[in-house]
């Protein structure tokens, strides 16, 4: 059976996908399923401020405990590094088209590194349950990392289940955030660019 490492951007976005993984398996491109062993991983140093980061991290831990999952937390809050890179590599030298591209890359790269180290077969992310995220860029970033690490990236389009997932999270009393995560998303009042 394949081993899946799934990046959880937050607990509410993981709830529906976890339910599907548990009951059906990992969704394939042809809309059939394959059974996998799955492990969620929390790595989101983009979240600001620290108190919000801790809330989301603790919500992830709470949900993993509820579901008896050995969730992994790579505990890093990186306001300075994140902001500096956005200014330099997005604003000045245009290495990334938008800050979200850098944000996806930073998080998913770390998840791929972990997957390589611990011999996972597939990597995915819960970011793609959200209709507010840029799916094309997530797919591009995932595919680039797939080539770099020689580990499959599975793009999961769960947008049609976003509201249902949020409802399930509320019923479980899981903390729900009100903005995407970084300081720019608080300031702009938007979820993403
Ligand atoms: S809006 Fe969201 S995805 Fe975009 S940079 Fe901020 S935290 Fe990351």
Q: What is the DSSP string of 120-174?
A: -SEEEEGGGG-TTS-HHHHHHHHHHHHHHHT-EE-----GGGHHHHHHHHHHTT-
Please report whether residue 100 resides in a domain: yes
Q: Alpha carbon of 163 to those of 71, 89, 172: distances in Å?
A: 24, 34, 14
Domain range spanning residue 54?
Answer: 2-188
Half-sphere exposure of 183 (CA within 13 A, CB side): 13
Please indicate, yes or no, if residue 31 is contained in any of the structural domains: yes
Task: Give the bridge partners for 51, in sequence order.
Answer: none
By most ligand atoms within 8 Å of CB, the mutation choice from 7, 108, 181 for ligand 1 is 181
Q: What's the CATH number where 83 sits?
A: 3.40.50.620
Q: What is the pLDDT of residue 192?
A: 56
Q: Average pLDDT by consecutive 10-residue portion of the chain (193 residues)?
A: 98 98 97 97 97 98 98 95 94 94 98 98 98 97 98 98 98 95 80 53
Residue with tokens 């800050």, as numbered in its chain? 99
- 131 backbone dihedrals φ, ψ, rounded to 5°: -70, -10
Residue 103: how many CB atoms within 10 A of its CB? 31
Integer Cα distance of 37 and 25 in angstroms: 9
Q: 170 in a domain, yes or no?
A: yes
Question: Residues with Cβ within 6 A of ligand 1?
Answer: 46, 99-100, 103, 180-182, 184-185, 192
pLDDT at 187: 72
pTM of the model: 0.96
Q: Are 151 and 157 in contact (CB under 8 A)?
A: no
- How remote is the CA of residue 75 from the centroid of ligand 1, in Å? 18
- The per-residue pLDDT for 1 is 96
Give the count of domains, the chain.
1
Distance 186 CA to ligand 1 centre (A): 10
Pocket test for ligand 1, best of 13, 43, 44, 46 (most atoms within 8 A of CB): 46
User: For residue 46, is it within any domain?
Assistant: yes
Distance 155 CA to ligand 1 centre (A): 18
* 147 belongs to a structural domain: yes
Does any domain span residue 193? Answer: no
Neighbours of 78 (CB within 10 A): 16
Task: Identify the pLDDT of residue 190.
Answer: 59
């Amino acid at each position: 059976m394949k081993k899946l490492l799934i990046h959880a951007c937050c607990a509410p976005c993981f709830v529906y996908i976890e339910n599907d993984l548990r009951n059906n398996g990992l969704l394939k491109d042809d809309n059939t399923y394959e059974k996998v062993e799955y492990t969620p991983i929390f790595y989101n140093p983009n979240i600001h401020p620290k108190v919000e980061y801790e809330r989301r991290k603790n919500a992830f831990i709470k949900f993993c405990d509820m579901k008896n999952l050995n969730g992994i937390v790579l505990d890093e809050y990186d306001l300075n590094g994140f902001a500096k890179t956005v200014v330099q590599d997005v604003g000045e030298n245009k290495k990334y088209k938008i800050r979200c591209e850098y944000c996806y890359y930073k998080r998913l790269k770390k998840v791929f590194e972990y997957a390589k180290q611990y011999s996972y077969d597939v990597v995915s992310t819960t970011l793609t349950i959200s209709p507010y995220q840029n799916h094309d860029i997530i797919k591009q970033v995932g595919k680039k990392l797939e080539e770099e690490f020689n580990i499959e990236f599975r793009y999961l389009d769960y947008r049609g289940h976003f509201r249902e997932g949020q409802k399930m999270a509320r019923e479980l009393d899981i903390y729900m955030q009100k903005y995407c995560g970084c300081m720019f998303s608080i300031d702009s009042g938007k979820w993403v660019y």
